[in-house]
């Protein structure tokens, strides 16, 4: 199976993780405000390409820093508002961002690998068909989330990773966008 063989078109939905896919991820810390947010190289170009290939494009992100009291929901909403503005301004698109503020230990329905954010997205965008959806993420929990909903999975990492939950490996969102 190749990405080209999937015949991706506007009937397909793209689910993106945020940290490590769209923006720089901190080791043992969180993006707490807009001044911490840094797009990864080429992401704006990738989002412009992906805008032309997919129907709904949504972000699904675990944000337990809120649950830990390190930043507020309002801070996160401002980060997402600015992220969406910059991507849209440069010809890309994100239709909606879903986040789970809950601690990992709570195992909340909305926290990946659980499927709550995907189910909410389908409520908001009834055209979503999970069998015509792709999740792009940088963690196995992202892949588990996608698998649980019947999506194709794309793992983003410098080095290729082998796991039965991973359909495709790419070093970056840019490389993924160019392969479609």
Residue among 61, 65, 53 at smallest CA distance from 14:
53
41 has catalytic annotation: no
Which entry of 17, 75, 142, 167 is annotated as an active-site residue? 17
Q: In 3-state terms, what secondary structure has residue 160?
A: coil
Nearest 5°: CA angle at 59, between 161 and 107?
75
Which entry of 19, 75, 142, 167 is annotated as an active-site residue? 19
CA distance 116 to 47: 24
CA distance 113 to 163: 15
45 has catalytic annotation: no
Alpha helices per DSSP H over the chain: 43-51, 64-67, 73-89, 116-124, 140-149, 173-179
**Residues designated catalytic:** 17, 19
């Amino acid at each position: 199976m190749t990405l080209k063989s999937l015949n991706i078109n506007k009937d397909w939905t793209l689910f993106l993780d945020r940290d490590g896919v769209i923006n720089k991820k901190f080791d043992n810390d969180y993006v707490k405000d807009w001044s911490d947010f840094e797009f990864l190289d080429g992401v704006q170009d990738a989002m412009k390409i992906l805008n032309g290939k997919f129907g709904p494009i949504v972000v699904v992100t675990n944000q337990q820093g809120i649950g830990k009291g390190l930043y507020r929901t309002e801070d996160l909403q401002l980060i997402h508002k600015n992220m969406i503005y910059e991507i849209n301004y440069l010809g890309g698109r994100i239709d909606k961002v879903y986040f789970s503020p809950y601690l990992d230990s709570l195992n909340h329905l909305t926290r990946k690998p659980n499927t709550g954010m995907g189910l909410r997205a389908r409520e908001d965008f009834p055209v979503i068909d999970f069998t015509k959806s792709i999740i792009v993420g940088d963690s196995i929990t992202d892949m588990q989330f996608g698998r649980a909903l019947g999506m194709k999975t794309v793992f983003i990492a410098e080095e290729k990773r082998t796991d039965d939950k991973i359909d495709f490996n790419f070093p970056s969102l840019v490389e993924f966008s160019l392969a479609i």
